[in-house]
Structure 1
Amino acid sequence: MKNIVLILLVFFSFNILAQNKEPFKIYKDSTISSYDAILTACKDADFVFFGEDHDNPIAHWLEYELLTDLYQVKKEELIVGAEMFEADNQLILNEYLEDKIDDKKFQEEARLWPNYKTDYKPLIKFCKDSSVQFVATNIPRRYASMVAKKGFEILDSLSSEA
């Protein structure tokens, strides 16, 4: 009997010690806010910029949630852009979104970040399935490298096609 009581006490103590762990907290002006407040503000906005740490899966999950919720309001007006894709990848991105190439070919030819499958692919898949336009917004690496080595002035030497 003592063993049963001891086991029950141990079992119930886990429930007492358990905490409701929130995956994130949202702040506005140093005050805790809510996802609903963000969504309400975003619904009326022309542009929404989502700053995130590239290796934070919770941030990417929140991006996905916001994307799917905004789609319910904006539908075809919604356009998504991501710096994960460089501007010179736009053609292959469009070909994938328009089902001209398959996922395997897209992943082989596009320059994807290591966390693409876990953090960015859900966004791309949603856009593809919902016919949401997706824009590759980052500068191509070759130009970023030029600027890093020679400064912004190097951009003046590029052709207008660049």
Structure 2
Amino acid sequence: MHFSIFVLAIVTVLTGCTSNPLSSRAPPTDITSFYDYQLYSPSREPISIASLPPELQQADVILIGEWHTHAGIHRFQTDMLKQLSIAERPIALSMEQVPRDKQAVLDSYLNGEIGEQYFIKQSHAWPNYESDYRPLVEFAKQAEIPIIASNAPKNIVRCIGQQGIDYLNKLSHEERRFVAESINTDESPYKEKFMASMHHGKPEQTERLYAAQITWDETMAESIVNFLTKNPRSQVVHVAGKFHIEAGLGTAMSILNRNPNLNVAIITPTADATEDGVDFQLEVLLPPVRYVKRANLMQAYQHLVGRNSTLQCK
């Protein structure tokens, strides 16, 4: 299961809109390498990225889920942003991978005021930034597409994972503005899904971990909605882990809770696009199995728990 809380461990209108949905169909691409992808509609019709259907062209927000480090998905994200940028409608990129408190550093890089290595260091970029997110950011930079640093700072999220949602009361006014104003930890289909994915830990521990997870989703959602409030003509493309957005849950649900009038489209990766569903599907090769032997899995988990236990929270 790939979703962004794993780091806690204990923790658009295009040139010429089409009214005929058949015109967006394309022969399926053979998925034989990790660079290949094929986009499908919710009814599982293959879609050409050069001729997107109205549901994607006219969406206010397009959420693209990912299996982190998957080359085909990251290639699609850049191709999609490039295609959508052709339209006259303003577009913005929103990224799970950059927290709100690094917006100024990100803007300095996009404006050419600092170099890439300084940006990577100062923004605490993900280890796979250069291999997976550089193409996306560099295209946005040269096309002058704004990028929203949408996530909550990792140190705050990790401390919520350790202490629960009440940790927010310990934050200074400056720190608190980097996290969503409203965070709903009540029962929901998303919470049920999250709890079902947790196979260890006491109930109170999983409650804290869910509080951390939903803080991530609520903050990303608020960042997107705030941007669209200030830029109502714009379209936002948001990239995040698959778990955060699929089936209209997580960040997608949080966006609509804040503004139910927004038109949100969801694209989720899959290794088998034959089943009907509510999301657009991006077929790619399934990621390699991370661990075959349970002992190796547990060893990796224990290492991650030990690494994060050194974090000093207030």
Judge same fold: TM > 0.5, yes or no: yes
Kindly indicate whether the alpha-carbon contact (under 8 Å) linking 1:64 and 1:122 is maintained by their aligned counterparts in 2: yes
| 1:46 and 2:60 matched | yes
Q: Which has the larger Rg?
A: 1
Q: 1:73 corresponds to which residue?
A: 87
Quote the offset at 1:58 in angstroms: 0.5
Q: 1:57 corresponds to which residue?
A: 71
Match of residue 34, structure 1, among 22, 26, 47: 47
Q: Which runs of 5+ in 1 are unaligned?
A: 1-19
Structure-to-structure mapping, 1:13-162, within 5 angstroms: 21-22=30-31, 23-29=36-42, 31-36=44-49, 39-40=52-53, 41-74=55-88, 77-162=90-175
User: Which piece of structure 1 moves more, 86-95 or 33-42?
Assistant: 33-42
User: Which piece of structure 1 moves more, 44-53 or 104-113?
Assistant: 104-113
Kindly indicate whether the alpha-carbon contact (under 8 Å) linking 1:42 and 1:70 is maintained by their aligned counterparts in 2: no
What code does the residue aligned with 1:89 have? K
Quote the offset at 1:112 in angstroms: 1.2
Secondary structure of the equivalent of 2:98? strand
Q: What TM-score, normalized by structure 1, do the two folds share?
A: 0.78
Kindly indicate whether the alpha-carbon contact (under 8 Å) linking 1:25 and 1:32 is maintained by their aligned counterparts in 2: no
What code does the residue aligned with 1:45 have? A
Higher relative contact order (CA 8 A, sep 6+): 2
What code does the residue aligned with 2:103 have? Q
State the identity as a percent: 27
Taking only aligned residues, the RMSD between alpha carbons, in angstroms, comes to 2.0
Kindly indicate whether the alpha-carbon contact (under 8 Å) linking 2:95 and 2:150 is maintained by their aligned counterparts in 1: yes
How far, CA to CA, are the matches of 1:46 and 1:148 in structure 2? 32
Q: What TM-score, normalized by structure 2, do the two folds share?
A: 0.42
Quote the offset at 1:49 in angstroms: 0.7
How far, CA to CA, are the matches of 1:32 and 1:26 in structure 2? 8
Kindly indicate whether the alpha-carbon contact (under 8 Å) linking 2:49 and 2:83 is maintained by their aligned counterparts in 1: no
Q: Can you list the C-alpha shifts for 1:95-145, whole angstroms capped at 9, x where unaligned?
A: 000111122322232211121112101111111111110011111011111
Kindly indicate which of the two structures has a greater share of residues assigned to helix: 1
User: Which piece of structure 1 moves more, 92-101 or 32-41?
Assistant: 32-41
Kindly indicate whether the alpha-carbon contact (under 8 Å) linking 1:39 and 1:70 is maintained by their aligned counterparts in 2: no
What code does the residue aligned with 2:170 have? S
Q: Which runs of 5+ in 2 are unaligned?
A: 1-28, 176-314
- Give the 3 Å change call, closer, same or farther, for CA 35–115 of structure 1 in structure 2: farther
User: Which piece of structure 1 moves more, 30-39 or 63-72?
Assistant: 30-39
Moved over 4 A (4+): none
How far, CA to CA, are the matches of 1:120 and 1:74 in structure 2? 25
- Give the 3 Å change call, closer, same or farther, for CA 37–122 of structure 1 in structure 2: closer
How far, CA to CA, are the matches of 1:24 and 1:130 in structure 2? 24
Q: 1:7 corresponds to which residue?
A: none
Q: Can you list the C-alpha shifts for 1:2-60, whole angstroms capped at 9, x where unaligned?
A: xxxxxxxxxxxxxxxxxx73322434446243244983222111111111111211001
Q: How many residues align?
A: 142
Q: Can you list the C-alpha shifts for 1:65-84, whole angstroms capped at 9, x where unaligned?
A: 10000000145x10101111
- Give the 3 Å change call, closer, same or farther, for CA 118–144 of structure 1 in structure 2: same
